[in-house]
């Protein structure tokens, strides 16, 4: 375990360099947009990574709220399983928007259940709160990359930096602001109920994630239609490069979350130690003060 992180860091660095080479050199040039389209290999993987991190934050927040009570914990686990089964079954029986594949929706339903049970198995009640904070922090960074690279790509293609009426752009900005608010609450609130309030905010904020993702399916928007799931077409070589870059981004996000998770746990242990020391010192100070008063009376 001591050498695992450095080894993974070296492998991830090599993968990031390889992905950059594939994106900037090996991938074919898009006929209409030219080389500016290559930002696509960073813009889209950043968005997918941010969505996944926010989803993990949502699951961790749900579990932090539910696992305080054994009955609520069991009910939440059964509900997660039921949601996965219902989504998987409904994907093949309910009419979907044109181009949206039932297999993709069904797989998402199973992933919801699998990820929920995995987090439940690997993390304790207190650790789910740490996981929620960490994934929110890293997710905000990746979402910021999306918001920065999007206008850089849009300016030479659309002729403007930002389209205020575009539902995908606006909802992504709102999503980022929600999780920034979440982090501000965690950072500056000293209340003992802060983790509970933050978890509730995260649950509400997560509802914006599927809206952002599905907005280009249900609304007429200036943002391009999806290139996966049947909603568009893409050169197989471009898809290959896109998936390599997403894998590289996922590995990088994992390493950052791992490092940040360890730091957060250490920080909380230090804070708890300081709190316990303060509690132990208070009786000693009180006894000293009382002895001083008694000596003064004599």
- Determine the Cα–Cα distance for residues 168 and 209; give it in Å rounded to an integer: 11
Is the residue at 182 inside a domain? yes
Domain of 174 in residue numbering reads as 55-224
Q: Which residues contact 104 (CB under 8 A, 6 or more apart)?
A: 91, 229
Q: What residues are paired with 34 via a beta bridge? A: 30
Contacts 24+ apart (CB under 8 A), 87-96: 87/112
pLDDT of residue 298: 47
Tokens of 116: 């929920």
Q: Which residues contact 174 (CB under 8 A, 6 or more apart)?
A: 208
Torsions phi, psi of 224, nearest 5?
A: -60, 150
pLDDT of residue 37: 82
Q: Categorize the per-residue pLDDT at 111 as very low, low, confident or very high, splitting at 50, 70 and 90.
A: confident
Q: What is the pTM of this model?
A: 0.84
Supply the DSSP symbol for 231. S
172 or 283, greater pLDDT:
172
Is the residue at 66 inside a domain? yes
- Determine the Cα–Cα distance for residues 188 and 237; give it in Å rounded to an integer: 47
Element (H, E) at 205: helix 194-206
Is the residue at 3 inside a domain? no
- Determine the Cα–Cα distance for residues 121 and 77; give it in Å rounded to an integer: 11
Instruction: Give the total number of structural domains in the chain.
Output: 1
- Determine the Cα–Cα distance for residues 21 and 167; give it in Å rounded to an integer: 33
Summarised one tens digit per residue, pLDDT across range 227-246 is: 555 445 677 888 899 999 99
Q: Is the pLDDT of residue 212 over 80?
A: no
Secondary-structure breakdown of the chain: helix, strand, coil percentages, each rounded to the nearest 5: 80, 0, 20
Summarised one tens digit per residue, pLDDT across range 59-93 is: 999 999 998 888 998 999 999 899 888 888 877 77
Torsions phi, psi of 102, nearest 5?
A: -60, -35
Is the residue at 144 inside a domain? yes
Is the residue at 212 inside a domain? yes
Is the residue at 38 inside a domain? no
Tokens of 39: 């930002």
Is the residue at 62 inside a domain? yes
Is the residue at 21 inside a domain? no
Torsions phi, psi of 251, nearest 5?
A: -65, -45
Q: Is 159 left (phi over 0), alpha (psi -120 to 50) or beta?
A: left
Q: Which residues contact 262 (CB under 8 A, 6 or more apart)?
A: none
Residue entry with tokens 């007429």: 220
Q: Is the pLDDT of residue 143 over 90?
A: yes
């Amino acid at each position: 375990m001591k050498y695992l992180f450095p080894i993974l860091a070296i492998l991830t660095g090599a993968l990031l360099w390889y992905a950059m080479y594939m994106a900037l050199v090996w991938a074919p040039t898009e006929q209409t947009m030219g080389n500016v389209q290559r930002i696509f290999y960073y813009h889209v993987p950043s968005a997918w990574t941010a969505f996944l991190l926010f989803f993990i934050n949502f699951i961790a927040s749900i579990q932090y709220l539910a696992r305080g009570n054994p009955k609520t914990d069991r009910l939440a686990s059964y509900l997660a399983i039921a949601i996965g089964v219902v989504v998987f079954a409904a994907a093949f029986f309910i009419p979907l928007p044109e181009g949206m594949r039932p297999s993709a929706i069904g797989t998402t339903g199973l992933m919801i259940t699998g990820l929920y049970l995995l987090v439940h198995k690997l993390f304790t009640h207190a650790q789910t709160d740490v996981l929620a904070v960490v994934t929110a922090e890293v997710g905000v960074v990746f979402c910021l990359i999306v918001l920065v690279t999007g206008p850089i790509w849009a300016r030479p293609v659309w002729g403007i930096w930002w389209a205020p009426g575009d539902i995908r752009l606006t909802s992504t900005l709102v999503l980022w602001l929600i999780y920034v608010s979440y982090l501000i609450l965690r950072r500056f609130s000293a209340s003992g109920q802060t983790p509970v309030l933050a978890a509730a905010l995260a649950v509400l904020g997560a509802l914006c994630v599927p809206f952002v993702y599905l907005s280009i399916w249900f609304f007429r928007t200036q943002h391009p239609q999806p290139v996966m799931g049947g909603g568009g077409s893409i050169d197989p070589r471009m898809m290959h490069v896109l998936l390599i870059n997403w894998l590289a981004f996922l590995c990088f996000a994992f390493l950052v979350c791992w490092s940040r998770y360890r730091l957060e746990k250490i920080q909380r242990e230090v804070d708890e130690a300081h709190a316990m020391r303060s509690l132990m010192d208070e009786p000693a100070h009180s006894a000293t003060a009382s002895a001083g008063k008694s000596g003064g009376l004599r």
